[in-house]
């Protein structure tokens, strides 16, 4: 959990808005640090978290989370976290994503998830609203799932988790080339479709001028708010640097390395 990002997004573990659908897109860089942020954020906020870790192994997520001060193994034992390790499950995407959605639905809606954690110290602990985190929908595309199917999946997840259960959904999507390239129909198309549905987008990009040691990239935050019958968007642009145990965000050109 990065305190700076919390103040940028104006969400805090004891006070965060519900029914949010957050999309993180990455281009020419790695935005997984944001996934780690949201994972530790929602675990601290005592939400019931369902994590679809398709990219890395559980031990990786656990090792990083420990640096951020959250223990995933404990969270799993307590029933707060339901973790799907995509590398261990033999995902067969040719059958569609129905099984995956069933997994999401059952783990989010059940009082304490499919683990059925009957706490030894009296009844199961109460958790807050459910949160679904997906680390890289792009993996599904790589495995041969069509864009339409992934869009359907994300729509079903949003309908279930955001609308019905008043929870939040955070999804990461890796896009490869430039926006105007038009080469990658898959990821670009998917990103457009998801941006249309979501309430908050974090577009993370590598610097257009290339790699820099002190600035790892830039993040564009786009809010879409429904206020008084009119929709307005608000964009902010930050540059960021990922540290060992967190990340710092600053306005463009104000990196501490230059000032």
Partner 1 sequence: MAAPVSGVGNPGVRSSSLNSTSFQKKTRSKLLSIPGTRPSVQNGQLLVSTGVTSLDFLLGGGLAVGAVLLIEEDYYDSYSRMILKYFLAEGVVCQHELFVASAQDSPNDILQELPSPIMDDVAIPKPVEQPRLSSEPQDSLDTMKIAWRYQNLPKVQSTLTSSSRFGHYYDVSKTMEAEIRQAAKCHCFNLPDHPQQTTPSYSPTLESYSALLKSLQEVIQKEGFAGKSRNILRIGLHSLGSSLWGDDLCCCDNPKHTHALTTFLYGLRALLRSSLAVAVVTVPSHLIQNRALMGRIAKLSDTAIALESFKGSERETNPLYKDYHGLLHVRQVPHLNCLASQFPDHKDLAFKLKRKQFSIERLHLPPDLSETVSRVSRGEVPGATGAASACGSSTNKHLDF
What is the DSSP annotation of the chain? --HHHHHHHT-BTTB--SS-EEEEEEESS--HHHHHHHHHHHHHTT-EEEEEE-SS-HHHHHHHHHHTT--HHHHHHHTSEEEEETTTTT--GGG-SHHHHHHHHHHHHSSSTTTT---SSSSPPP--SEEEEEE-THHHHHTT--HHHHHHHHHHHIIIIIIIT--EEEEEEEE-S-GGG---HHHHHHHHHHHHH-SEEEEEE--TT---SS--EEEEEEEEEEETTEEEEEEEEEEEEE-SS-EEEE-TT--TTT-
68 vs 162, beta carbon nearer partner 1: 68
152 vs 184, beta carbon nearer partner 1: 184
Among 141, 147, 202, 204, which residue interacts with partner 1 (rule: CB under 8 A)? 141
Q: Report if residue 244 touches partner 1, rule: CB under 8 A.
A: yes
Candidate segments 95-103, 156-164, 199-207, 245-253, binder of partner 1 by CB under 8 A? 245-253
Among 7, 10, 59, 118, which residue interacts with partner 1 (rule: CB under 8 A)? 59
Q: Report if residue 53 touches partner 1, rule: CB under 8 A.
A: no
* Minimum gap (Å) between residue 177 Cβ and partner 1: 6
* Minimum gap (Å) between residue 74 Cβ and partner 1: 16
28 vs 224, beta carbon nearer partner 1: 28
Q: Report if residue 88 touches partner 1, rule: CB under 8 A.
A: yes
Q: Report if residue 33 touches partner 1, rule: CB under 8 A.
A: yes
User: Where does this chain bind partner 1 (CB under 8 A)?
Assistant: 30, 32-33, 36, 56-57, 59-60, 63-64, 67-68, 87-88, 93-94, 138-139, 141-144, 174, 176-177, 181, 183-184, 186-187, 210-211, 213, 242-247
């Amino acid at each position: 959990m990065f305190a700076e990002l919390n103040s940028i997004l104006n969400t805090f573990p004891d006070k965060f808005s519900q029914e949010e659908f957050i999309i993180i897109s990455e281009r020419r860089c790695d935005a997984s640090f944001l996934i780690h942020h949201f994972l530790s954020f929602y675990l601290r906020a005592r939400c019931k978290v369902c994590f679809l870790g398709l990219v890395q192994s559980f031990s990786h997520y656990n090792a990083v989370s420990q640096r951020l001060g959250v223990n995933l193994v404990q969270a799993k034992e307590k029933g707060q976290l339901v973790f799907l390790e995509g590398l261990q499950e033999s995902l067969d995407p040719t059958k569609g994503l129905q099984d995956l959605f069933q997994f999401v639905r059952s783990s989010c809606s059940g009082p304490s998830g499919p683990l059925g954690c009957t706490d030894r110290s009296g009844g199961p602990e109460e958790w807050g609203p459910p949160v679904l985190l997906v680390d890289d929908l792009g993996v599904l595309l790589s495995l041969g799932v069509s864009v339409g199917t992934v869009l359907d999946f994300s729509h079903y997840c949003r309908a279930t988790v955001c609308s019905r259960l008043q929870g939040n959904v955070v999804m990461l999507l890796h896009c490869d080339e430039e926006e105007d390239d038009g080469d990658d129909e898959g990821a670009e198309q998917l990103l457009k479709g998801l941006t249309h549905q979501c309430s908050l987008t974090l577009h993370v990009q590598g610097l257009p001028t290339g790699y820099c040691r002190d600035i790892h990239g830039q993040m564009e935050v786009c809010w879409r708010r429904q206020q008084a019958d009119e929709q307005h968007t608000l964009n902010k642009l930050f540059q960021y640097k990922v540290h060992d145990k967190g990340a710092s965000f600053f306005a463009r050109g104000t990196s501490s390395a230059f000032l």
